[in-house]
Amino acid sequence: MWYYEKKLQYPVRVRECNPTLAKYLIEQYGGADGELSAALRYLNQRYSIPDKVVGLLNDIGTEEFAHLEMIATMIYKLTKDATPEQLKEAGLGDHYVAHDHALFYHDAAGNPWTATYIQGKGDPIADIYEDIAAEEKARATYQWIINMSDDPELNDSLKFLREREIVHSQRFREAAQMLIDEKDKKRFF
């Protein structure tokens, strides 16, 4: 089970109200390769992965919820002072009439999150490659969002998150190699 502490993993600051940027950032909240996908994917795989990898999935899965909270905080800060008219100009008029200033788990185009974005196969090597791919895709998404952003304070947090994805990808690669080595060992003896 989890305990909540009222702090963010890394500070989140935004320069100014910027709903256009919020619109793109929501891709990492409820999009295919966003933080919700990551957290739910890893925590779900814990039950069928070899014991050696459970801790890794647990740690990264829990951290991804902290990332999700950072993204939520960013979106909130970028939009909380926006008028309906400003949301409309930012392409968020459709979000506004459905959700007002509330967040929602959809991607930048408005597609609601679906579990079909993720997978759990029960095959350890397939699952870990799913996870490496997930981290690489999340890294790419952060890059595309940073390319769209001219808010240096927000970018500082986004670069932290992008860096974390690279670290996670590396750790999943090590886990994949360990699983492959073990499988080869079993074949040999």
User: How far, in Å, CA of 136 to CA of 185, rounded?
Assistant: 29
35 binds a copy of itself (CB under 8 A): no
Residue list 51-90, contact with a copy of itself (CB under 8 A): 58-59, 62, 65-66, 69, 72-73, 75-76, 84, 88
166: left (phi over 0), alpha (psi -120 to 50) or beta: alpha
What single DSSP character describes residue 106? B
Binder among 17, 132, 166, 178 for a copy of itself (CB under 8 A): 132
Backbone torsions φ then ψ of 46, nearest 5 degrees: -55, -30
168 assigned ligand-binding residue: yes
Binder among 86, 110, 171, 178 for a copy of itself (CB under 8 A): 110
User: How far, in Å, CA of 114 to CA of 32, rounded?
Assistant: 8
101 assigned ligand-binding residue: no
123 binds a copy of itself (CB under 8 A): yes
Residue from 105, 98, 101, 112 nearest 19 by CA: 101
Residue list 12-31, contact with a copy of itself (CB under 8 A): 20, 23-24, 27, 30-31
35 assigned ligand-binding residue: yes
Known binding-site residue numbers for Ca(2+): 59
Known binding-site residue numbers for Mn(2+): 35, 64, 67, 135, 168
